[in-house]
Amino acid sequence: MIERPSGRELPVLDLPPAPPPRRPVVAGAIADPRLAEFLPEELVLPRFFVWTLGCQMNRSDSEEMAGALIAAGCAPAPALECADLIVINTCAIREHAEAKVIGRQGQLAALKAARPGTRVVLTGCAVRETDRARLARRYPAVDLFLRPDEEPELVARLGLAGAGTPGGAVRSAATTLVGGRAVSAADHLPATRATAVAAGRVERHSAVSAWLPIVYGCDKSCTYCIVPLSRGPERSRPFDEIVDEARALAAAGYREVTLLGQNVNSYGHDLPAEERFGHVISERTAGRRLDLRSRPDLAELLRAIDGIRTADGRPAIPRLRFITSHPWDLSDRLVTAMAERPSVCEALHLPVQSGDDAVLRRMGRQYTIEHYLERLAWIRAAVPGIALSTDVIVGFCGETEAQFEATLRLLEAVRFDTVFAAAYSPRPGTPAERLADDVPPAEKRRRLNVLLGRQEAIGHELNRAWLGRRVEVLVDGPAPQRAHDHDEPQEPRPAPAGEGSLALVGRSRHNKLVHLAGRPDLVGQLATVEIVHAGPFALRGRLIGAE
Ligand code: SAH
Ligand code: SF4
Ligand code: F3S
């Protein structure tokens, strides 16, 4: 553990922002030792570590927080154990996700006892207005709690504002009501994002692939889901700001952009109507009427970003993805845009949750399996060979064995490339809390294992179809060291072939993880790879050539 003196302690909870700090003095800038006592003491800003759990939206939010801290003069710490400021960006989708952080409170308390200047900030989806009172009890090592929509206030609330932070005042988040409950208000997030992007204050995780949030919050009311309570109602970012951010990413050399939102398909319904979007004609009922006429939608956005071209007419961002789509909002316009626009990747994540209509109804998903299959048939016809992935919940309230088997049959019928499955976990304050959580834990685990076993065989079979084929792989970087806690099971890695060669990893357009051996300068390039091995979760290939 690296110890370093902390020249300044971070204020605890809710202190008003400190006055602008004195500028750091560069050691050795003034040689005359007689002047030393007149010099301001060196300002040591905290070294921070952001621990991020949960989905891509959280990862994207963490990039913004890290960027703000760096702009304020703080430096990243290599590990949580040696940071003065620990920011935990939590997930609350299942109880287990919250328990992971609750379980670390003892360690955090010990770190604080050893180094009393250490401060812990907890943000993300575990910080809900409805649960405010319980937070201090559940997370005793935490000094400051910020809801997801309060994250832009991080620097100011820590008293670091002014420490080299350009970009002006931070707007304070308000609360709003969803079903009579106080939740986050996402209203100001589009503007704070635009300011952060304009000031270059987004610390992106990669120089190859970028996340680009397009809509915050969620207006759906799936009965099991905590997200609307954590993230509040939907707010779309203005169309031009998104396209500008994409243009800047293209200019910075990014090869892949993933548009983010809890439900990207409903992008734009809350934006003002404009004449230039007069051709967007679509109307839908989403618990209430959504009039999309003359408002931009996801299809329009894909077309505009695909339309950013290089001098020789190719898409400046060769790969465009979006996540997550709700089946109910998947429009004809979106499918057509996917089919027509060359940069939009041939992969779609379309969570189904269950293969049984009665369960779907209890989940409040607003579609039937017939409708879901109709959408898939349509998209498969428009984008032949498209890779499909989905989310499934097993053991939801009242799920019978027969209903679970309907989900298994659905997986066999559709043959998804990837299935992210989880056992139902009741979440406080959600409508499903009022239903009986009557599938016993052991039975939920059994169903989960059966489902994952079936899916592994299907995924393996689909992957084998790639053997011998040549695919375009965007090389992300060196293959990560195997971690116990890795999201996806790992495939055998290729032995680095030849001198200067590394074990690398990348993704195909169909979002397949591909291992290959190659030189480090392949990172960020689109390589042509021949698939020589297919496992259930990843492929391995031989490098044929690169750009
Ligand atoms: N907005 C996305 C998903 C967000 S949450 C969508 O609607 O598809 C990601 C996944 O977590 C969900 O698709 C669901 O499968 C799972 N999930 C959400 N709440 C859950 C709960 N209470 N228990 C178990 N899994 C849950
Ligand atoms: Fe949750 Fe449903 Fe919204 Fe997805 S669409 S975030 S599952 S409420
Ligand atoms: Fe988790 Fe929140 Fe994402 S609950 S999955 S981090 S939106």
pLDDT at 165: 45
Asked if pLDDT for residue 463 goes beyond 90, the answer is yes
* DSSP-assigned states of every residue in 168-190: -PPPPP-EEEETTEEEE--TTHH
The predicted-structure confidence for 147-183, as pLDDT tens digits, reads as follows 999 999 999 999 886 544 444 445 566 777 767 777 7
Mean pLDDT in residue range 521-547? 95
pLDDT at 497: 60
- Residue 421, H or E segment: strand 418-423
pLDDT at 25: 37
CA–centroid distance, 37 to ligand 2, in Å, is 59
Band of the pLDDT at 5, cuts 50, 70, 90? very low
442 within domain boundaries? no
Give the separation between CA 160 and CA 48, rounded to whole angstroms.
Answer: 12
Give the separation between CA 173 and CA 189, rounded to whole angstroms.
Answer: 9
CA–centroid distance, 446 to ligand 2, in Å, is 25
The predicted-structure confidence for 202-245, as pLDDT tens digits, reads as follows 999 999 999 999 999 999 989 999 999 999 999 999 999 999 99
Asked if pLDDT for residue 257 goes beyond 80, the answer is yes
The structure's pTM equals 0.89
Q: Alpha-carbon dihedral of residues 367, 373, 375, 379, nearest 10 degrees?
A: 160
pLDDT at 284: 62
CA–centroid distance, 157 to ligand 1, in Å, is 31
The predicted-structure confidence for 72-118, as pLDDT tens digits, reads as follows 999 999 999 999 999 999 999 999 999 999 999 999 999 999 998 89
- CB of 27 within 8 A of CB of 40? no
Of 124, 153, 182, the residue at which a domain comes to its end is 182
Q: How far is CA 482 from the centre of its chain?
A: 22
- Residue 284, H or E segment: strand 283-285
Asked if pLDDT for residue 262 goes beyond 70, the answer is yes
pLDDT at 390: 98
Per the DSSP assignment, residues forming a β-bridge with 391 are 420
Average pLDDT, the chain: 87
Q: Residue 14 contacts by C-beta under 8 Å, 6 or more apart in sequence?
A: 144, 157
CATH number at residue 518: 2.40.50
Among 409, 152, 136, 93, CA closest to 144: 136
pLDDT at 60: 97
Q: Kindly report which listed range (41-55, 250-264, 533-547) carries the lowest average pLDDT score.
A: 41-55
506 within domain boundaries? yes
CB of 184 shorter than 6 A to ligand 3: no
pLDDT at 20: 39
Band of the pLDDT at 409, cuts 50, 70, 90? very high
478 within domain boundaries? yes
Q: Ligand 2 pocket test: pick from 56, 262, 390, 430 the residue with the most ligand atoms within 8 Å of its Cβ.
A: 262
Strand 256-260 with 319-323, pairing: parallel
pLDDT at 9: 44
Mean pLDDT in residue range 352-363? 98
pLDDT at 39: 60
- How is residue 481 written in tokens? 């060291």
CATH number at residue 99: 3.40.50.12160
pLDDT at 489: 43
Mean pLDDT in residue range 352-365? 98
| Secondary structure class of 328 (helix, strand, coil) | helix
pLDDT at 41: 53
Mean pLDDT in residue range 245-264? 96
Residue the block writes with tokens 């996340």: 211
Which domain covers residue 474, as residue numbers? 465-546
- What is the percent of the chain with per-residue pLDDT over 90, rounded to a whole number? 72
pLDDT at 547: 83
542 within domain boundaries? yes
Take atom 13 of ligand 1 and give the residue whose Cα is closest.
391
Of 182, 210, 227, the residue at which a domain comes to its end is 182
pLDDT at 42: 52
400 within domain boundaries? no
CA–centroid distance, 275 to ligand 3, in Å, is 35
Band of the pLDDT at 14, cuts 50, 70, 90? very low
149 within domain boundaries? yes
Q: Output Rg (C-alpha) for the chain, integer angstroms.
A: 24
pLDDT at 132: 82
Per the DSSP assignment, residues forming a β-bridge with 388 are 348
pLDDT at 65: 96
422 within domain boundaries? no
- Atom nearest to 225 CA in ligand 1: 19
Band of the pLDDT at 4, cuts 50, 70, 90? very low
Take atom 1 of ligand 3 and give the residue whose Cα is closest.
91
Mean pLDDT in residue range 56-76? 95
End-to-end Cα separation, the chain, in angstroms:
43
Mean pLDDT in residue range 45-57? 94
Q: How many CB atoms lie within 10 A of CB 488?
A: 10
Asked if pLDDT for residue 11 goes beyond 60, the answer is no
Of 182, 206, 239, the residue at which a domain comes to its end is 182
pLDDT at 330: 87
Domains of the chain: total: 2
63 within domain boundaries? yes
CA–centroid distance, 189 to ligand 1, in Å, is 23
**One-letter amino acid for residue 229 of the chain:** L
